[in-house]
Chains A and B, each alone.
Chain A
Amino acid sequence: MEVAKEKKIEMLRSMLLTRRFEETLTELCKNEGKIPGMMILCTGQEAVGSGVCAALSPEDVIISNHRSHNHLLTKGADPRAIMAEIYGKSTGCNKGKSGTLHLAVPEVNAPCTTTVVGGGLPIAVGVAFSQQYKKEKAVTVCFFGDGAADEGSFHESLNLASLWSLPIVFVCENNLYAGAQRYEEHTRVKDIADRASAYAMPGEIVDGNDVLAVYEAARTARERAIAGNGPTLIECKTYRCRGHGESDHQLYQPKDEIAAWQEKCPIPRLSDEVFALGLITAEELSALEAEIGAVVQEAVRFAEESPYPKPEEALEDVFV
Chain B
Amino acid sequence: MAKMTMVQAINLALKQEMEKDDNVVVLGEDVGVDGGVFRVTEGLFEQFGENRVMDTPLAEAGIIGFSIGMALYGLKPVCEIQFSGFTYLGFHQLESHAARLRGRSAGRFTVPMVLRAPYGGGVRALEHHSESREAYFAHTPGLKMVIPSSPRNARALLVSAIRDPDPVVYFEPKALYRAFREEVPEDEETMELGRSRIAREGKDITLISYGAMLHETMQAASALHQKQGIEAEVIDLMTIAPLDDALFIESARKTGRVVVIHEAPRSFGPGAEVAVRLVEKSFLYLEAPIRRVTGFDLVIPLFQREKAYLPGVDRIVRAVRETLDF
Specify whether A and B are partners. yes
A97–B106 Cα gap in the complex (Å)? 7
Residues in chain A near residue B51, CB distance under 8 A: 133
Q: Is the CB of A114 within 8 A of B69?
A: no
- Contact A125:B61 (CB < 8 A) given known A114-B96, A317-B106, A318-B142: no
Residues in chain B near residue A63, CB distance under 8 A: 69
For residue A245, CB closer than 8 A to chain B, the reply is no
Find residues 72-130 in chain B having any chain A CB closer than 8 Å to their own CB. Answer: 72-75, 77, 92-93, 96-97, 100-109
Residue of A nearest to B96 (CB): A116
Partner of A122, one of B25, B93, B109: B93
Binds B, one of A12-20, A31-39, A153-161, A297-305: A153-161
A153–B64 Cα gap in the complex (Å)? 11
A207–B37 Cα gap in the complex (Å)? 48
Q: Is the CB of B104 within 8 A of A102?
A: yes
A119–B100 Cα gap in the complex (Å)? 13
Partner of B59, one of A126, A129, A159: A159
A148 to chain B, nearest CB (A): 13
**Range class of the A interface residue count:** 35 or more
A292–B156 Cα gap in the complex (Å)? 56
Find residues 80-111 in chain A having any chain B CB closer than 8 Å to their own CB. Answer: 93-95, 97-98, 102, 104, 106, 111
A63–B56 Cα gap in the complex (Å)? 22
Partner of B101, one of A111, A131, A153, A316: A111
- Contact A133:B69 (CB < 8 A) given known A102-B104, A119-B93, A318-B142: no
- Contact A160:B73 (CB < 8 A) given known A95-B106, A111-B105: no
Residues in chain B near residue A134, CB distance under 8 A: 74
Q: Is the CB of B57 within 8 A of A122?
A: no
- The digit string for A126-157, where 1 denotes a CB below 8 A from any CB of B, is 11111101100000100000000000110011
- Contact A129:B103 (CB < 8 A) given known A318-B141, A318-B142: no
Partner of B68, one of A95, A106, A122, A163: A122
Residues in chain B near residue A140, CB distance under 8 A: 69
Partner of B56, one of A93, A160, A318: A160
- Contact A163:B57 (CB < 8 A) given known A94-B105, A97-B106, A316-B107: yes
Q: Is the CB of B57 within 8 A of A160?
A: yes
For residue B166, CB closer than 8 A to chain A, the reply is yes
Q: Is the CB of A133 within 8 A of B59?
A: no
B187 to chain A, nearest CB (A): 29
Residues in chain B near residue A119, CB distance under 8 A: 65, 92-93, 96-97
For residue A1, CB closer than 8 A to chain B, the reply is no
Q: Is the CB of A130 within 8 A of B69?
A: yes
Q: Which residue, of A126, A152, A317, has the highest number of chain B Cβ atoms within 10 A?
A: A126
Residue of B nearest to A105 (CB): B105
Partner of A318, one of B64, B75, B96, B103: B103
Residue of A nearest to B27 (CB): A129
Partner of B69, one of A94, A97, A124: A124
B243 to chain A, nearest CB (A): 11
B113 to chain A, nearest CB (A): 9
Residue of A nearest to B22 (CB): A133
For residue A123, CB closer than 8 A to chain B, the reply is yes
Residues in chain B near residue A61, CB distance under 8 A: 73
Q: Is the CB of B109 within 8 A of A106?
A: yes
A95–B77 Cα gap in the complex (Å)? 28
Residues in chain B near residue A104, CB distance under 8 A: 101, 104-105, 108-109
Sample of 7 further A-B pairs with CB below 8 A, known A126-B71, A127-B73, A153-B61 = A94-B106, A98-B105, A121-B65, A125-B69, A129-B75, A160-B59, A318-B103
| 7 tightest A-B CB contacts, nearest first | A126-B69, A122-B65, A317-B107, A156-B62, A156-B59, A130-B73, A126-B66
